[in-house]
Amino acid sequence: MLSFRPHTRMSEPGRRERVDVADLAAAIERLAADLALAEEPSGFTVVLESDPDMREQRD
């Protein structure tokens, strides 16, 4: 039979933690409203690795 460890939270959240969590969750909900389906986390390293140097284009 499988057994699972009890949850790993330190304690039930206090007032300040609840406010912080709610603020952060609200920010994500607002910001993510128009995320396109194809946007996914691995795109981040692609952005960094594929940045074209714009200096020549600007010149």
Q: Which residues bind another protein (CB under 8 A)?
A: 8-11, 13-14, 16-18, 20-21, 24-25, 27-28, 31-32, 35, 39-49, 51, 53-55, 57-58
13 contacts: CB under 8 Å, gap ≥ 6: 21
C-alpha span between 16 and 22 (Å, rounded): 10
Tell me whether residue 4 or residue 44 sits nearer to another protein (CB atom): 44
Tell me whether residue 4 or residue 40 sits nearer to another protein (CB atom): 40
Residue 34 Cβ vs another protein, minimum distance, rounded to whole Å = 10
